[in-house]
Chains A and B, each alone.
Chain A
Amino acid sequence: MENHRKTIVAIRNLTKAYRRGAQAVPVLENITLDIAEGEFLALMGPSGSGKSTLLNIIAGIDKADEGSVTVGGLDISLLSEAELARWRAINVGFIFQFYNLIPVLTAFENVELPLLLTALSRKERRNHVETALAVVNLLDRREHYPSQLSGGEQQRVAIARAVITDPTIIVADEPTGDLDRVSAEDVLGLMARLNKEFGKTIIMVTHDPRAAEKAHTVEHLEKGVLNHVHA
């Protein structure tokens, strides 16, 4: 069934190395990967295997040395920084390990933030934010600041922020890495729901095998090389 779905992310012969002085340290080597629309993919691997770098390249916040990354039919490796910024605003929702909420903004304002780059009116933005907060079951905490929320609640606000613009893909870098087990289950359940009920394509980097269990597909990276393992 998955094979019939449209490919939303197509990575071809992707190579990336970091430079330390004159020395080039390879991070990703000749990665080729297709991710289908509506997929929930987990990227696993030991520290330094290149999984976060691969995620960053897919999300358009880092660039490969060689190869191409096509998201929704657009080769993002050809875009300039400014074009990438505009592309990210529309096509990518981010979920971070440490939530990355702006401390001086309320939950509502944090979720509203990505909508400021759209042409939506204030009223439309409010409706969108309320819907997103309702999805993550935090509408009653809308006026709370991040410091007044638990880790799990903050991550749910971050998830609401990630989906608020209805992006093409959601990228999550260790979304449960800073959470206790109960909160992690809660967040993973929410991500699974977004994938199942709303058809969101999710690409998640994780160390946690329990988190990876929620994914349809698990890809392993070892020293920058991809090993395909389907869940």
Chain B
Amino acid sequence: MFMLKLIARNAFRHKLRALLTITGVAVAILAFGLLRTLVGLWYLGVESSSASRLITRNAISLVFFLPISYKDKIRHVPGVKIVSYGSWFGGIYIDEKNFFASFSVEPASYLQLYPEFVLPPDQQQAFIRDRKGAVVGRPLAERFGWKIGDTVILKGTIYPGEWAFTVRGIFHGGHKNVDERQFFFHWDYVNETIKKTVPRRADLTGFYMIGLTNPDQAATVAVAIDGLFKNSLAETLTETERAFQMGFVSMTEAIITAIEIVSYMVILIIMVVVANTMAMTARERIAEYATLKTMGFGARHIAGIIWGESLALSLAGGGIGIMLTFPAARWVESALSQFFPFFHVSAHTVYLDLAAAAIVGTVAAIFPTWRGATIRIAEGLRRIA
């Protein structure tokens, strides 16, 4: 208890220095936490993907479509339980800054295949029945003030024109990783409209989503599906949902790696700053450590005092940094929602923050601790004046 009191008082002996050090650590941990959250977001789709679902897309690229006629052929492949399909719509609501993900899907099979989008049964039925109906995630509805029955108009980027939808349901996520900022509507509505305006683009879909009877057969079923369309005009590439999502991640792997390096560099820099502070502190107090040694306090005690002080400063800064991460993440989510519609700080990130603060405190104390613990008493006492 006495030693803890000594450590606490030592830590705040030079108030300005302590304040600046704590502020530095807090800012570094805040930056680290936000960057780690960003990296985590990249993998969110992968984490929330199911092992019992496959995605079939055009083998050349996602930007090329597949004929809708593939649906029945896929459905008859042994091991396939259910087939749904859909396309990326890329609509704009009023302004580009209001970006959110919008997909045209086949409603009945899609809701069956993705039970994590939780809708009350009456809303499900209303959505399936209304060809111009749409379902939206709760945060998205709250953001734009949409209620059931409201008309929402999206401006098409891939499919030209203005598209009017009626909100028939508001879903929420069945688990925490579900992206609730999505907008789904009928593939048929888009297809029938396109048939009239751009007929060559009709009866095509962006991808098929396939439910399996047994997830262990995923590889066999994927090979069977791709085999069906080999040497056709639109060859397919079928992979697990996880692999499909990882494909998106790997496209931007260099960015993720750069962000990860920057996050660790931030920690490294603050480690050097705290180490410098602790080195200055220990140098100033060498005579005190020598005095303690004359009284019989050993290297272990001296090391504990210095390490404790370093840890106290780092954890104080770390704690403040962690507390600031949550409002900062909320700000990022609201101000940059078109880029980061889902910016939640995970418990894993908080643990990483705490570990980073503890490592900073510990590593920064190594040299001063060694110096203080090994100083010769007679030499240390000479530093008094």
Contact = CB atoms under 8 A, between A and B. Distances in A.
B116 interface: no
Contact of B378 (A56, A85, A114): A56
Contact of A89 (B13, B291, B296, B376): B296
B9 A62 contact: no
B288 A61 contact: no
B229 to A, nearest CB: 77
Contacts of A53: 378
A113 B5 CA distance: 12
A117 B296 contact: yes
Interface residues of A, number: 29
Contacts of B296: 85-90, 114, 117
Given A56-B378, A62-B377, A105-B9, A100 B287 contact: yes
Contacts of B5: 109
Interface residues on B, range: 20 to 34
A61 B294 contact: yes
A104 interface: yes
Nearest to B295: A114
Nearest to A162: B295
Given A96-B381, A100-B384, A109-B2, A85 B293 contact: yes
A104 B381 contact: no
A96 B385 CA distance: 12
Contacts of A62: 376-378
B2 A88 contact: no
B309 to A, nearest CB: 11
A46 interface: no
Contacts of B377: 56, 61-62
B301 to A, nearest CB: 9
Interface in B261-307: 287-288, 291-298
Contacts of B287: 100
Contacts of B384: 96-98, 100
Contacts, number: 65
A59 interface: yes
B10 interface: yes
A111 B146 CA distance: 71
B335 interface: no
A94 B295 contact: yes
A82 interface: yes
A112 interface: yes
Interface string A77-105: 00000100111111010101110101111
B13 to A, nearest CB: 6
A116 interface: yes
Contact of A117 (B10, B297, B381): B297
30 contacts: A56-B378, A61-B293, A61-B377, A61-B378, A61-B381, A62-B376, A62-B378, A85-B293, A85-B297, A88-B294, A88-B295, A89-B295, A89-B297, A92-B294, A94-B295, A96-B291, A100-B288, A100-B291, A100-B381, A100-B384, A102-B288, A103-B13, A104-B9, A105-B9, A109-B5, A113-B295, A116-B3, A117-B295, A117-B296, A161-B295
Q: Which 7 A-B pairs have the closest CB atoms?
A: A89-B296, A104-B9, A61-B377, A100-B291, A114-B295, A98-B384, A62-B378
Given A62-B378, A97-B384, A104-B10, 9 more contacts: A86-B296, A89-B295, A90-B296, A100-B381, A102-B292, A109-B2, A113-B295, A116-B2, A117-B295
Interface of A: 53, 56, 59, 61-62, 82, 85-90, 92, 94, 96-98, 100, 102-105, 109, 112-114, 116-117, 161
Interface of B: 2-3, 5-6, 9-10, 13, 287-288, 291-298, 376-378, 381, 384-385
